[in-house]
Amino acid sequence: MSGSLTIRMAGPSDAAQVLEFIRGLAEYERLADEVVATEEAIERTLFGPSPAAEILIAEWDGRGAAFALFFSTYSTFLAKPGIWLEDLFVMPAFRGRGIGRALLSHLANLTIERDCGRLEWAVLDWNEPAIGFYRRLGAEAQDEWTTWRLTGERLDDLAKPPG
């Protein structure tokens, strides 16, 4: 399929498009009922005075095709920043055109330009298409690490002073 691909940084006017990507990703990951994000929250947290992350948007012939949401990390062992790719999603109608690879290539270039030590992300263990894709790119699974999470009431409990 021929077409024109452009990749750009998202801005405040992209909040509705970003929310559409988030909902599409959540549906793909079978987590649609967990999305509570709104355009207003996206504008405030991603495009406000202290953005929590950055977003690349891929457009195919001027239409929103995919996004990559990422933020800075830090490696104490390397004494260098890194980039964590939180979400990468290509809308179903645009798959098979090399857009996901182009987004990751763009992000790899940003990682190098920013003198970061690594680019990392997580993938659901059942997502074989993504796992195969990442392996073909030369990425390596970090199987010795397990991600842990605190949310909601348990996070609140831990935040309380002991005693």
Residues 85-107 have pLDDT tens digits of 999 999 999 999 999 999 999 99
- Tell me the whole-structure pTM to 2 decimals: 0.92
**What ranges do the domains of the chain cover?**
5-159
Per-residue pLDDT band for 2 (boundaries 50, 70, 90) equals: confident
3-state helix, strand, coil in the chain (%, to 5): 40, 25, 35
> Which of the residues are catalytic?
134
First to last CA, the chain: 63
Per-residue pLDDT band for 20 (boundaries 50, 70, 90) equals: very high
> Is 5-159 CATH 3.40.630.30?
yes
